[in-house]
Every structure is written in C-alpha cells, then in structure tokens.
Amino acid sequence: MELLVFGKTGWGDELFYATLMTIAVSVTAMLIGFFFALIFTPLKLSKYKLFNLIGNFYTTVIRGVPELLVIYLFFFGGSGAIMYVASIFGYYEYIEINAFITGSIAIGIISGAYSTEVFRGAIQSIDKGQFEAAKVLGINKFTQFYKIILPQMLRMAIPNLSNVWQITLKDTSLISVTGLVEIMRQSYIAAGSTRDPLLFYSFAAVLYLMLTYLSMKIINRLETKYSRGY
Amino acid sequence: MDFDLMFSSLPKLLGASVVTLKLLSVSLFFGLIVGFLFAILRINKNIFINKFAYGYSYLFRGTPLLVQIFIIYFGLGQIEYLRSTFLWVILKEPYWCAIIAFTLNTGAYTSEILRSAFQTIKPGMIEAGKSLGIPNKIIFYKIQIPIAIRQSLPAYGNEIILMMKGTSLASTVTLMDLTGVAKYIISTTFKPIEVFIVAGGIYLFMTFIIYNVIKFLEKKYSFNT
C-alpha cells in the first residue's frame, strides 16, 4: 500500500497525473471523433452513391480492423507521412510528432467511425414529417438543423454516444504501446521498477472502473436533461 | 507503394491469422459457456447471486481488455502460492493467459447479451407453456433458450467481431498473431501503410465472413418463415 502514496516514495501522484492524461486523451479523441462524424455522417446520408461509398468505406474499415493495428499505422506511419508532406515544401529534417497528438488522432478516427454510425442512426430515426414541417414553415436549413433536428437527434444519440465514450475511454489504454504516459503506461513503468505488477495493474483497473462509473453518472444526467417532455 | 513487400508479407500474415482464428474460436467457445452460466445467475431471484453476476460483468466491461490481460499474465505470476499449484502450468504460457483473459472478457459481454434476450421473452410464452402442462425444465430448454438464441444473434455477431479485434491484444504478451506479425514487419521494414493494407484486408475479410454467417443464421432462425 505504501507504494501508492503521493510524493517521492510512492507512485500516487504519478498515477494521478496519468489518470488526468487518460481523461485528456479520451476527451480530445472524442472531439476529434465528432469532427470526423460531422464530415462522414452527411456523406453516408447523401443522395449520391459516391459519397455513400466513401462514408461506408470509412466506417467499415475502421470498425472491422483492430484498434491496435490502426494505432501502429499512425505510430509508425505518422511522422513518415508528415515528413513526406514537409519534403514537398522543401523541409528535409527529421520530424517527430508528439505521442499525445498521434494517439489522440488514432483513437479519434476510431471513435469517429462509431460516432458516425450513432449520428446516422439518430438522424434516420427522426420522423420525415419533422423535416417537411420545417420546410413548409419556411424555416431555413440552418435553423431547421439547429433548433429542430439536433435536439431530437441528441435525445436518441446520447445513450449510444455514452457507449462510444466508454469504448474510447478503454481504447486509450492501447496508446500505451506508443509510450504516452497514461494510466496503463504509468502502471507498466511502476510495475517494472517495483516488481509488483499485480498491485499496479489491479490499481489501474480500479482507476478505469472509477472513470467509467463517473462518466456514467454524468451521462445519465445529460440523458434526463435531453429527454425532458418524453 | 511497395507491392513486392505486400506480396512477400502476405503468406506470413496469413499464417499468423491462423493464430488469431485459434485464439478467437477457443475463447468464444469458453466465453459462451461462461456467459451462459452468468446469464442464468443474472436472472436468478436471489439478490446475492444476482449481484455477484452483475459485479462480474461490470468489472470486465468497465475495464480495458489490455488491463485484464496484463493482470493475468504479469500479475498472477507474482503470487507465490499459484506458482506451486498445477495452475502455473497454464499461467506461465502467454497463450493460455490470453485465452483466459479473452474468455472472461467475452463471457461478461455475452452474459449481458443473453440476459437481455431472456428478459425480452414475453411472459405470455412461458405462461402458455405452463398452461399446456409442460414442465418448467422443458419450458426452459425448448421455449426460452431457442427464443433467447434468436434474440441475441445480432448482438452476439457484433460481439464476435469485437472479440476478433480484441485478439490483437495477444500481441502485447509476445504472441505472434496477425497484429503481432504485422507490427514485426512494420518495425523491420518501416513500411506501415503497405503492411496495414494487407493485415487490415485479412481482418476485414474475416469480419465479412462472420457478418454473413450471422446474417444467414438470423434468416434461418427468424420467426416469420
């Protein structure tokens, strides 16, 4: 137990910061995922076959390939790709990208594929009449989406988005392979230097359980907020 | 694009996908048994049994699979007592540690899928069976289980695909499965995109097969035929 105290003798403070790092990566990845969902959901719902194809390609490939493989692609390929782009502009020095950025983008792309599916399902579940009524009333497209579709969509989407959040949170543990010091990596370091893997990995499990429990509590509150009137 | 590398790595990756499939099928087999057992415990009326089964599924669904593998592979070996028992024969092998972790993980998800399937069975069906004088045991085997299997097929198909992706974590405990070999080739050749296309293609192909088998089963066991 004295291994878990804060300060120089224990790993408490290190693990605390690692937990914050996990939260930071998860939130960043989730936001990046929303950004991707924002691009790919309209593509999937588009009238044009080509756009559908691009949207389906993204969600199928990402959801059908292991997360770890995607992370390796970004970890090994990320700096290479950037250096290639930089070489076009005449910059030939070695560029190393931050593990936080690579990891967030990799997890973000994965999380985005799941978010896209959630948003697509939520929009499709809205009654057609809602779109038509808005059109008849002469409401412009922006207000229609923002004031009529989005609130109804969120009610449908929040329970599923909560699943996406849980998946994203757990997927961040995989970034530890790239060396980013989050919960898993910190536990690995601590376990290695104290030779007490059981304690540290169990503690990591407890930390993850705490995070999933807390986020469930917060999401439940959001759910009640958006299902007012139902 | 290095097509030579793609061709030369294909046989290696295909060989490694056998390991992936082995891990997947063994852990799904045991996972189904574990999941079924805990699903029955979950619908038990005794609150302690019920809470115990809930705790199991909460624990394994709330933590990343990577943590579970590491606890079993690195953590359990630390307990002196375990080293002296016959369990050590199993626990010192990364292969069996991965199988245990995958089994417990997929078992937790499967128990939830089966539980919700059991709970969506309309009480009328069980009552109809009872009023026909069918014994409880036969109602369970001949009415509840077939309906539950049908109900849980789509969700279980997703779980199989998730588990297939989960087996990639076996590469973190030194097993050379598809992802492990892919990582090895990437780190020796520094050609991530080519290897990703081949390895990802194999994974997608497996996903495609699983997806279609489940779809076929769904059609076969659907109610309205």
Q: What is the pLDDT of residues A149-207, one digit of tens each?
A: 888 888 888 889 999 999 999 999 999 988 899 999 999 999 988 888 999 999 999 99
Taking the CA of residue A10 as centre, how many other CA atoms within 13 Å lie in the half-sphere pointing to its CB? 13
Residues A6-33 have pLDDT tens digits of 777 778 888 999 999 999 999 999 999 9
> Does some domain include residue B90?
yes
Rounded to whole angstroms, the Cα distance separating B148 from B191 reads 47
Query: What is the gyration radius of the CA atoms in chain B, in angstroms?
Result: 21
Whole-number pLDDT of residue B220: 83
Rounded to whole angstroms, the Cα distance separating B69 from A201 reads 10
Q: Is A80 exposed, middle or buried (0-12, 13-18, 19+ CB in 10 A)?
A: middle
Judge contact between A65 and A142, C-beta under 8 A: no
| Nearest-CB residue to A66 (from B63, B168, B193) | B168
Give the domain range for residue B121. 3-220
Q: Closest Cα partner for A110 from A149, A167, A72?
A: A167
CATH of the domain at B28: 1.10.3720.10
Residues A37-49 have pLDDT tens digits of 999 999 999 889 9
DSSP annotation of B45 reads S
Rounded to whole angstroms, the Cα distance separating A98 from A104 reads 10
- Across residues B25-38, what is the average pLDDT? 95
Mean pLDDT over the full length of chain B: 90
Higher pLDDT, B57 or B78: B57
Q: Closest Cα partner for B210 from B172, B176, B163, B178?
A: B163
Residues B152-163 have pLDDT tens digits of 998 999 999 999
Judge contact between B164 and B24, C-beta under 8 A: yes
Q: Closest Cα partner for B160 from B39, B24, B19, B21?
A: B24
> Does some domain include residue B225?
no
Whole-number pLDDT of residue B144: 86
- Give the three-class secondary structure for A123: helix
Residues A55-77 have pLDDT tens digits of 999 999 999 999 999 999 988 88
Whole-number pLDDT of residue B225: 46
Q: Would the CB atoms of B196 and A176 count as touching at under 8 Å? A: no
Give the domain A2-226 fold.
MetI-like fold (1.10.3720)
Other CB atoms within 10 Å distance of the CB of residue B24? 24
Whole-number pLDDT of residue B224: 62
> Does some domain include residue B190?
yes
Q: Closest Cα partner for A223 from A170, A124, A157?
A: A157
With contacts defined as CB-CB under 8 Å, which chain A residues touch B71?
A: 197-198, 201-202, 205
Q: Would the CB atoms of B76 and A208 count as touching at under 8 Å? A: no
- The full DSSP string for A89-123 is TT--S-----HHHHHHHHHHHHHHHHHHHHHHHHH
Count of structural domains, chain B: 1
- Region for residue B2 given its phi and psi (left: phi exceeds 0; alpha: psi -120 to 50; beta: otherwise): beta
Q: How confident is the model at residue A78 (pLDDT cuts 50, 70, 90)?
A: confident
Percent with pLDDT over 70 in chain B: 99
Whole-number pLDDT of residue A70: 93
> Does some domain include residue B201?
yes
Q: Closest Cα partner for A19 from A174, A177, A217, A184?
A: A184
- Across residues A86-104, what is the average pLDDT? 82
Q: Would the CB atoms of A60 and B67 count as touching at under 8 Å? A: no
Rounded to whole angstroms, the Cα distance separating A197 from B77 reads 9
> If you average pLDDT over each of B1-5, B86-90, B125-129, which comes out highest?
B125-129
Q: How far is A224 from chain B (nearest CA, A)?
A: 22
ipTM exceeding the 0.90 mark: no
| Dihedral sign of CA atoms B114, B117, B123, B124 in order | negative
The residue ranges of DSSP E strands in B31-90, in sequence order, are: none
Rounded to whole angstroms, the Cα distance separating B156 from B144 reads 17
With contacts defined as CB-CB under 8 Å, which chain B residues touch A166?
A: 62
> Does some domain include residue B213?
yes
Q: Please state the domain extents for chain A.
A: 2-226
